[in-house]
Structure 1
Amino acid sequence: MVLEVSKSTYEAKTQEIARQLLTATQESKNFFAALRDQMRWDDKLLDWAMSNPGLRVQLFRFIDTLPALRSKAEIAAHLQEYLGDASVELPDVLKNMLNFANPDSVPGQVAATTVSTATETLAHKYISGENIKQVLKTIERLRKEKMAFTVDLLGEAVITEQEAESYLQRYLDLMQELAEAAKNWSKVPQIDEADGVSLPRVQVSVKLTAFYSQFDPLDAVGSEAKVSDRICTLLRRAQELGVAVHFDMEQYAYKDITFKILQKLLMLEEFRSRTDIGMTIQAYLRDSEADARNLIEWAKLRGYPVTIRLVKGAYWDQETIKAAQKHWQQPVYNDKVATDANFEAIAQLLLENHQYIYAAIGSHNVRSQGRAIAIAESLNVPRRSFEMQVLYGMGDKLAKALVDRGYRVRVYCPYGDLLPGMAYLIRRLLENTANSSFLRQNLENKPVEELLAPPSFPPSSPLPPSPDFQGVPDTDYAEAEARKKSEAGFKSVREQLGKTYLPLINGEYVQTDNLVDSVNPSQYSQVVGKIGLASVEQAEKAMQAAKAAFPGWRKTPVAERTRIIRRAGELMESRRAELAAWIVLEVGKPVREADAEVSEAIDFCYYYAAEMERLEAGVNYDVPGENNRYIYQPRGVVVVISPWNFPLAIACGMTVAGLVTGNSTLLKPAETSSVITAKLTEILIAAGIPRGVFQYIPGKGSQVGAYLVNHPDTHVIAFTGSQEVGCRIYADAAVLKPGQKHMKRVIAEMGGKNAIIVDESADLDQAVAGSVQSAFGYSGQKCSACSRIIVLQSVYDTFVQRFVEATKSLNIGAAELPGTQVGPVIDATAQTRIQEYIAQGKTEAKLALEMSAPQGGYFIPPTIFVDVPGDCAIAQQEIFGPVVAVIPVPDFATAMQVANSTNYALTGGLYSRTPSHIQQAQDDFEVGNLYINRTITGAIVSRQPFGGFKLSGVGSKAGGPDYLLQFLEPRTITENVQRQGFAPIEGAE
């Protein structure tokens, strides 16, 4: 198709028009070289960023931090931290400016003032105003230059419902003020009318996700309902005021649901005939041409045109990084030239369907704009049906050249405070300074033939395989098909509710005297399954069967053991939606988190299989006449005592670690999650685990669990649970029992009192959202969950206000509902214990939030205490529920002391943009897993091996390169290979 386009009749005209536009934009040839010595500081910053990649990264990081800094001393200190790195080559003028000993000194103050003023000046190049007065001044200037506008309100990062409501109100106010001002504007025929039709003088651009703080494709129905109500309010008011509304496109995850919501709304009778509404297509997306075709077909059915703004796309780095982290297919083109080729193809498609679609061609590439004009002129497309668009401050000369040719040009004008505008500024700076940027190539005077060459899709080349372990991708619920599979999984599971699950002993399911109900904690009247509790006598039979099966399993080749374990992973993949549904219904984990747990279980199978193959090779160290081999052998019988909070992943990880290393393994699950471990049992049997090698022993921890821990034939105990039980197991295992000829190995993960530190330089959007997710994900029932937030005094009040509001905005309800963020706690005992801690907290600190909760389940609403003393009970003891203590501290040194003040050392987090604080946390934060500027939950196998120290546990990290060693005995074998004074010679025939 690309070849057809590039050889089409449009190409000659494209070249002609593009050359004319290029000439008009190159009036200031050699701009940077000619004015280098006279440049203002804002120009110098851009120049340095273009010429020095290392400086570019550090400079942009500093600019990102700048709005959070509250004094010139802070600015000066951060300047030195970011740009004083010896690895960054600095221009002499900048090096000299940073040569001050003290940030409070006069030279420090001068440096701070110079760079912050330059950055603000730079920001104002791309941001049309910080208030409505400035914006109106910008708009009036643009109109004098015969340019239309669309205004975008910065700060759309909405994390609370209060902010979503404010976003809507700010737009209603903005439209009112613009419409009032428009009454006094003189008519500009080139932009105010076309083909005899008057056009709206005012246009605003909005982001759909900013209308609802919990917008999520997984909850497509709930998100649509909430967003649609607010959009309707906006559109009705816009119609009253005569204002056009355009909907921007954001991250790829929101694309399909955005189109679906807008298409549905715009087919409603009250909006169907509106032609002053638009939406956006991003050409860097691989499926954007298909989206364009679908929109055209929809517009034909609608009967009235809408505007489609065609842009290249502004989130390329974000999309590629997210896809890589999630192991998802890249949604964007990896090559800029492919995006350009796709842009031209879609532009042609839109213009060829001008009777159904109004095209808005947004680009600063003269080739792209020239192409669109060539097509429009060749097809005699009416002037009402297309316009050209540029970003404020980025395409000034191109805009003027297009105006001079008589085209309608619209300038995208962001406005608002610099703080929320900084993310926008960084995107613009990245675009301006990127090697592939047309603007940069134009400034660098690339040959015209190179600049205007027809783009084409390069041949696709697969990415080189990564040498590291690659986990399985989580489900992408932005895809409708994925949501259908999830619904089918729930339907299948609901049809199986109430069945009985019995212990598996020596390959046979055995009857028990006692059955207990495992109930849905979201709705405790619903029985998920009936569990047969094994007796101590049955546990002894299981131990004897495991002991008898061990010699054969030990001698089973590693290749066969790993084949079986990998097969178990494959079976889990095939049953992903069903397994996730079991997790949701039996332990009350919300859908997305349950799906991630299935991924983790699968990853454990694949990772430990690969690790065992690595370890099997052993280590050889031979010298002349002597061979030395370091090898591993299984220990014997492994007892796994698994928790309810990760009922599949942790149970699977500990179990397959025991099995793949050649040990017979008994699994004693938590009583409240035994149905899920019964499903794991089915999978292991189906994968081919031999009779007796694996036993499934549901039972009372105080009886069956204790019996197996103390059994003389137990070699390894792998436990995850409370500190109290873990310490008891550790003590019991240390006692040598009659007939026991070995010391037991204990692997115990025993929880945490995990803290997040938020310092004065933190990105509070990130910090608030990350803290909410870390604290209240799965109702705070993860070992890694945040239960303390330590906040520096300078940002404390702002953080607390937003943190409370963001938490208020969470949806509390049954875990299976797709819109639920906070579900139930596990059972009545946990509910009572947490309520007691909340009552105690009310005597120790100030209660900032205690929400209401549904009835009929074991719900505890998110609860926030503020002004909490660092040494009180709720700041020291593990609560294991949705209760958070927010602790104010005067400085970072105190924050570190408070963070390290508990008996635990599992996970911790830091939100900071101060390099020295980040380094200090890496050195001194006493946690097994430290997370910087991200959530502190959700460790991924191999990438983030999980486990702590102090009283958080003992043993190597799960999912790490030394975890399997705990299930193995190392041996060294030395052989003297000399015979009567001679030895084999390596390589001899």
Structure 2
Amino acid sequence: MSDHATLASQSTERVTALVRRWLAESAEHPAEVSAERLAGVLKDPNGLAFTVGFVDGVMRPEDLGVAGRNLAQVAKLTPKFLPWYLRAAIRLGGVFAPVLPWIVVPIARRVLRAMVGHLVLDATPAKLGPAIAHLRESGNRLNLNLLGEAVLGEDEADRRLKGTTEFLARDDVDYVSIKVSSVVSQLSMWSFDEAVAKVVAKLTPLYELAAQNEARGKPKFINLDMEEYRDLDLTIAVFTSLLDQPQLKGLEAGIVLQTYLPDALGAMQQLTEWATRRRADGGAPIKVRVVKGANLAMEHVDAAVHGWPVATYGTKQDSDTNYKRVLRWSMTPERTDAVKLGIAGHNLFDVADAWITAVDRGVTSRVEFEMLLGMATGQAEAVRGDVGNLLLYTPVVNPSEFDVAIAYLVRRLEENASQENFMSAVFDLASNARLFAREESRYLASLAVLEAEPAETAETAGLAPAPNRVQNRRTEWTEESFAAAMAPKDAPAPGAEHEGDESLTSVVLGIRRGSVGDGLDAFAGFDGATALDGAPAPQGSGVTPGFRNEPDTDPALAANRDWGRRILARVPESRLGVDTVAAARIDDAATLDHVVSVAAERGRAWGLLSGDERAAVLHRAGLSLAANRDRLIEVMAAETGKTIAESDPEISEAIDFAHYYAERARELDHVQGAEFVPSKVTVVTPPWNFPVAIPAGGVLAALAAGSAVVIKPAKLAQRSGAVMVEALWEAGIPRDLLVLVDLAQRDLGSRLVSHRSVDRVILTGAYETAKLFRSFRPDLPLLAETSGKNAIIVTPSADLDLAASDVVKSAFGHAGQKCSAASLVILVGSVAKSERFLRQLVDATMSLKVGWPEHATSQMGPLVEPANGKLEHALTQLGIGEEWLVEPKRLDDTGRLWSPGVRTGVAAGSYFHLTEFFGPVLGVMHAKNLDEAIRMQNAVDYGLTAGLHSLDSDEVATWLDRVEAGNLYVNRGITGAIVQRQPFGGWKRSAVGAGSKAGGPNYLFGLGDWVPQHDITSGSLHLRGLEKRVSEIIEASQSSIDFESFEVLRRSALSDQIAWTEEYATVKDVSGVGVERNLFRYRSLPVAIRIGEAATLGEGLRVIAAGVLAKSALRVSTAHDLPKGVSQLLAAKGVDITREGDAAWLARVAKKGVGASRVRLVGGNPVALALALDGTPDVAVWAHRATPSGRVELLPFLHEQAISITNHRFGNPTTITDGVI
């Protein structure tokens, strides 16, 4: 054995012996009864759920009725460990709490405070002083941390800072902790330098108070705490900037480092280098509190939602190892002269290792051991006997605000319950050899890793583990890497034969037919396999193989912040897109007709390419968009006023559209029973509010579906659209396949939309614009996402701080200029009287920094144009009974900068309730109960997005069943839909046409036509596997149609059944984010079926069978006599059947309408129907021939709905909606 190995072995033996001695001595210091009871409870299988449920469900709600109902549920989980009298009391309380909450709940809360009260101190003056004196009797010092409400605005931040200042001023307090995020609200890492300056300015008086006491010989210590990875650089910068001030040169202060971050050693080295210079310059030393980290669960949430790597180590052992790595690097006499160490933790092996290392290296006077208040007090006393007095981290909370301690308590409870954590065994280590061996082996495993690392030398002194997050927008693209990414893959061989336009398919795009690779072989979801006796395979399961969302830019990283600064510096003088817009100008009808004609020819050739071949081009387009991220952000800021925080995710969405639609394009070639017929020309008319993502989505979808595109960006966002199109041209998409136009005259716009060579129009804009387009051409195939008047309901069971935060973000992001923005918040019951909710709402709203996008500090940018019309009215006028809670103010002479406004007293049915304003003004409504709130939410003409904040499973279930909107959000904001994760599109007047959601599995289906394929035959006649309601229809039809028609009907029904079972009748979460449940489902809706004179009876029956399977409320108009049995079955289901010819039906429709929002037209004239309906956008018509494909034929009978539910509390999984959906 080497000398090094011998020394290591001796050291571990000393550590183990010291741990055993401490455990033996701890028996002489009995633990508090409450601590032992809590530990016992957490060992119960239901213990953690019971305790967290009690803390979060009974302690948190303001409404005693809510707390009482939650107590009734929690009581069912009462752990057996509790004494019988406590179990009985809790269960009895659970019975009476719902009916007598004002009596039972306060008692229950006192019981729980007693159980966890040893973990926090009571902040009331009468109790705080005696508690501090009691804890200090043994010689321990206290590090006080004031807990408070979530810091959503500057008022709460000031209140927290004031409270900490008052603590520090007390004679019995000499040590406090405070976080950067608790003294300044709504910090943005994009404005890093300004944030540092602002925090330093706010904290300087606190530090000066400490320095004044230091000078008087009464030293006061301030510890700068941190939780989130994103605050690491910020906290270090604030700390060093504070202490670099001349008046604080002699002040000793501290900072925290979390070693579950690989970045920790590098940060320690940075701080040590700075502190050494400060010390050499005559300054005081600093202290670094070394902890393992307490925000692990929320770091996982942050990473999962954004698609970033988790910032922390992946295993507990790696974190433990890094803890020792950081301490061992730091514990030298030279380094500890400038940097004193706070060694924080309860793992006795780590504490013993650190103490022995400190003794061996002669630095015991430069280390201080720290533990948490109330945790393993017996062991703490044993440790104190060797290391000297401890520093106890001591949270302080006012009993009237005890719920603000929930996040802290949940972390402590998780630590005590987790088998990975030392604390789970804290009361059993001395008596349980197995648990002791478990913890010893974990300690030895981390030591083995360290011992395998090379000893520190001059060459390795500065080396530290690499961070997990290394995204660098400055270097991810170079001219060389971009050229390589854009180069055609597998270029065609000379002289190869090509179908269609050879120039387009081979020369320009560089694609040889069949050259894309393995094609569909890699895509099991679309492999054409058969099921149910050879019936067509299920298609479009919602899963998109090969697709993953593009991560947003991570502003926690310095390189990215610098990249962002450079972009913003270019904004004032930016001219991106100007020349391209000028070149796209069209002044006359002849030029426009020529452009459309050429596009039609190109589109015909493009549509002949396979989905695989189109996918290859779209993937290149996605790479080009990614490479142009900086230019796109610049032009959006310059032209439309978007802040970088708003525009960066928009670029990610555009990139997602490219890759997602590329993969969905493959499915179009492999739909069993139907053939997709691409449109030749699709016109895309996007809005100005999402000037890159929405136009990119429309263009890329149309290209994926095999169509040429003519795009006319909104006048207020032409340059942004132009730069986006430039990126797609750079990817190899020909300019005459993707045509950018700027139309000089309004009549040219109507000519383009109504042009007979234009097969489809994709519109995103106002409902009124959709009506206008249909007035140009009543039969226009229009796929439109239109207006929204969106509300968030907040019930008394909600987390009110979280609700207020999400309401403000949803209402005022991009100055409220989102069709998905929250225009209303509906407060249910007691929430309307909640001072806390309204205070937080006002504070968060008034703290928003409004400014121009080139200023990194701007959190809310300008309006795209001066407020006028409806918006100006909303910003300046109140309705009857309304009052300003926060009055909006015009901030400059441009008319574009407005502070956000909040009005209360908005009445049901009022102008503000029902009107979309598209700006930074929020209305507050009151509802007696959830039923009334849902009626208010549904009362508007639109159904785009809707939100609910509630932690009550029954409330969530009721809301999900009854709310009328396409995108639903539970316990989160209602904006920021993400491709595939939350496909976007509304109900009612928020959608025109097929209603397929952008970024969803069916969007491409509505961008072309479908014709039947009858290429599957079978010798059997069975109806096995069909639902009874369908098999009855088919059996009743058999005698009325010929065998061939019956066979088509039967096999169509089998295809329907597969599609229904695999796709339409299931609720899916294909993204699997975990911390969110992102669900996609289909809901039946009323449909009018018209079986025209040109249809066969078999075709009509086929469509009826699909509607019956989809459980749609049907109205049937038919030119053919239905089989008697079929008519009887339909009548029994309440289906209205009318026998009439085409002319009579059209006349009736012209007079009375169709009685439904959708029509499935078979064998009729869609142009004649459009004229009869006067082109109304309120009715969507499916007029393709009936096909045997269930994947295609069920869609007209179903609404799509996306649901996004926050699936965690403080980062820990929740079961609130597990039984709901």
Does the 8 Å contact 2:307/2:549 carry over to 1? yes
- Cα offsets for 1:874-903 (capped at 9, x unmatched): 121000000111112222222222111111
| 1:96-111 equivalence runs, <5 A | 97=91, 103-105=97-99
Q: Percent identity?
A: 28
| 1:175-214 equivalence runs, <5 A | 175-177=168-170, 179=171, 182=172, 202-214=174-186
Does the 8 Å contact 2:661/2:701 carry over to 1? yes
Alpha-carbon distance, 1:61 to partner: 4.0
Does the 8 Å contact 1:670/1:701 carry over to 2? no
Does the 8 Å contact 2:577/2:720 carry over to 1? no
Q: Pick the aligned partner of 1:56 from 48, 55, 71.
A: 48
Does the 8 Å contact 2:601/2:680 carry over to 1? no
For the structure 1 residues 468 and 847, does the alpha-carbon distance in structure 2 shift closer, same or farther, using more than 3 Å as the test?
farther
| 1:80-119 equivalence runs, <5 A | 80-81=72-73, 97=91, 103-105=97-99, 112=105, 115-119=108-112
Q: Partner of 1:778: helix, strand, or coil?
A: helix
Alpha-carbon distance, 1:616 to partner: 2.8
CA distance in structure 2 between the partners assigned to 1:67 and 1:143 by the alignment: 29
Letter in 2 for 1:355: D
Letter in 1 for 2:1006: Q
Partner residue of 2:1130? none
CA distance in structure 1 between the partners assigned to 2:586 and 2:856 by the alignment: 33
Q: Greater relative contact order: 1 or 2 (C-alpha under 8 angstroms, separation 6 or more)? A: 1
For the structure 1 residues 800 and 110, does the alpha-carbon distance in structure 2 shift closer, same or farther, using more than 3 Å as the test?
closer
Alpha-carbon distance, 1:171 to partner: 1.6
Does the 8 Å contact 1:834/1:879 carry over to 2? yes
Q: Pick the aligned partner of 1:548 from 581, 601, 604.
A: 601
Q: Pick the aligned partner of 1:293 from 255, 262, 269.
A: 269
Partner residue of 1:450? 438
| 1:488-507 equivalence runs, <5 A | 488-491=566-569, 496-497=574-575, 500-502=578-580
Letter in 2 for 1:137: P
CA distance in structure 2 between the partners assigned to 1:342 and 1:808 by the alignment: 42
CA distance in structure 1 between the partners assigned to 2:612 and 2:290 by the alignment: 54
Runs of 5+ unmatched residues, structure 2: 214-218, 450-464, 470-542, 1020-1221
| 1:857-868 equivalence runs, <5 A | 857=894, 858-868=896-906
Partner residue of 1:655? 699
Partner residue of 1:611? 664
Alpha-carbon distance, 1:930 to partner: 1.2
Runs of 5+ unmatched residues, structure 1: 183-200, 511-531, 620-628, 736-743, 980-989
Alpha-carbon distance, 1:544 to partner: 0.6
CA distance in structure 2 between the partners assigned to 1:146 and 1:574 by the alignment: 61
Q: Pick the aligned partner of 2:311 from 318, 321, 331.
A: 331
Q: Pick the aligned partner of 2:845 from 800, 804, 807.
A: 807
Task: Give the structure-2-normalised TM-score.
Answer: 0.70
Q: CA RMSD in A?
A: 3.1
Letter in 2 for 1:169: K
For the structure 1 residues 292 and 69, does the alpha-carbon distance in structure 2 shift closer, same or farther, using more than 3 Å as the test?
same
Q: Pick the aligned partner of 2:344 from 347, 359, 362.
A: 362
CA distance in structure 2 between the partners assigned to 1:403 and 1:346 by the alignment: 23
Partner residue of 1:625? none
Does the 8 Å contact 1:493/1:582 carry over to 2? yes
Partner residue of 1:391? 372
- Between stretches 640-649 and 767-776, larger displacement belongs to 767-776
CA distance in structure 1 between the partners assigned to 2:38 and 2:908 by the alignment: 44
Q: Partner of 1:237: helix, strand, or coil?
A: helix
Partner residue of 1:380? 362
For the structure 1 residues 448 and 115, does the alpha-carbon distance in structure 2 shift closer, same or farther, using more than 3 Å as the test?
same
CA distance in structure 2 between the partners assigned to 1:716 and 1:233 by the alignment: 64
- Cα offsets for 1:812-844 (capped at 9, x unmatched): 11122111112111113x445412233442555
1:587 aligns with 2:580: no
CA distance in structure 2 between the partners assigned to 1:312 and 1:631 by the alignment: 59
Q: Pick the aligned partner of 2:61 from 69, 92, 96.
A: 69
- Between stretches 586-595 and 853-862, larger displacement belongs to 853-862
Does the 8 Å contact 2:900/2:920 carry over to 1? yes
CA distance in structure 2 between the partners assigned to 1:27 and 1:618 by the alignment: 75
Does the 8 Å contact 1:503/1:533 carry over to 2? no
Q: Partner of 2:875: helix, strand, or coil?
A: helix
Q: Partner of 1:321: helix, strand, or coil?
A: helix
- Cα offsets for 1:409-447 (capped at 9, x unmatched): 010110113121122111111111112110113345334
Q: Partner of 2:391: helix, strand, or coil?
A: strand
Alpha-carbon distance, 1:301 to partner: 0.8
Q: Partner of 1:337: helix, strand, or coil?
A: helix
- Cα offsets for 1:550-577 (capped at 9, x unmatched): 2210112322211111111111111212
| 1:945-964 equivalence runs, <5 A | 945-954=983-992, 955-964=995-1004
Partner residue of 1:157? 150
Q: Pick the aligned partner of 2:197 from 202, 205, 225.
A: 225
CA distance in structure 2 between the partners assigned to 1:646 and 1:307 by the alignment: 48
Partner residue of 1:438? 422
Does the 8 Å contact 1:283/1:310 carry over to 2? yes
- Cα offsets for 1:49-76 (capped at 9, x unmatched): 43326x6346524521323434654323
For the structure 1 residues 214 and 83, does the alpha-carbon distance in structure 2 shift closer, same or farther, using more than 3 Å as the test?
same
Partner residue of 2:620? 567
Partner residue of 2:721? 677
Q: Pick the aligned partner of 2:908 from 870, 875, 892.
A: 870
CA distance in structure 2 between the partners assigned to 1:682 and 1:959 by the alignment: 22
- Cα offsets for 1:929-968 (capped at 9, x unmatched): 1111111111111101111111111321111111111113
Query: Which has the larger Rg?
Result: 2
Q: Pick the aligned partner of 1:476 from 548, 554, 557.
A: 554
- Cα offsets for 1:465-514 (capped at 9, x unmatched): 9968421111111211101112233445656427633469xxxx55xxxx
Partner residue of 2:1012? 972
Q: Partner of 2:121: helix, strand, or coil?
A: coil
1:313 aligns with 2:293: yes
1:598 aligns with 2:580: no
1:849 aligns with 2:886: yes
For the structure 1 residues 793 and 337, does the alpha-carbon distance in structure 2 shift closer, same or farther, using more than 3 Å as the test?
same
Partner residue of 1:514? none
CA distance in structure 1 between the partners assigned to 2:694 and 2:179 by the alignment: 40
For the structure 1 residues 68 and 236, does the alpha-carbon distance in structure 2 shift closer, same or farther, using more than 3 Å as the test?
same
CA distance in structure 2 between the partners assigned to 1:219 and 1:976 by the alignment: 62
- Cα offsets for 1:140-185 (capped at 9, x unmatched): 12221221111000016311111122122112212222x2xx3xxx
For the structure 1 residues 81 and 670, does the alpha-carbon distance in structure 2 shift closer, same or farther, using more than 3 Å as the test?
farther
Does the 8 Å contact 2:56/2:403 carry over to 1? no
* Number of equivalenced pairs: 898
Alpha-carbon distance, 1:379 to partner: 1.1
1:941 aligns with 2:941: no
Does the 8 Å contact 1:155/1:421 carry over to 2? yes
Q: Pick the aligned partner of 1:264 from 241, 249, 252.
A: 241
Alpha-carbon distance, 1:323 to partner: 0.5
Does the 8 Å contact 2:568/2:853 carry over to 1? no
Alpha-carbon distance, 1:614 to partner: 3.3
Q: Partner of 2:729: helix, strand, or coil?
A: helix
CA distance in structure 1 between the partners assigned to 2:939 and 2:996 by the alignment: 23
Letter in 2 for 1:218: W
Letter in 1 for 2:1014: T
CA distance in structure 1 between the partners assigned to 2:544 and 2:838 by the alignment: 42
Task: Give the structure-1-normalised TM-score.
Answer: 0.85
Partner residue of 2:165? 172
Alpha-carbon distance, 1:7 to partner: 3.6
Letter in 2 for 1:15: T
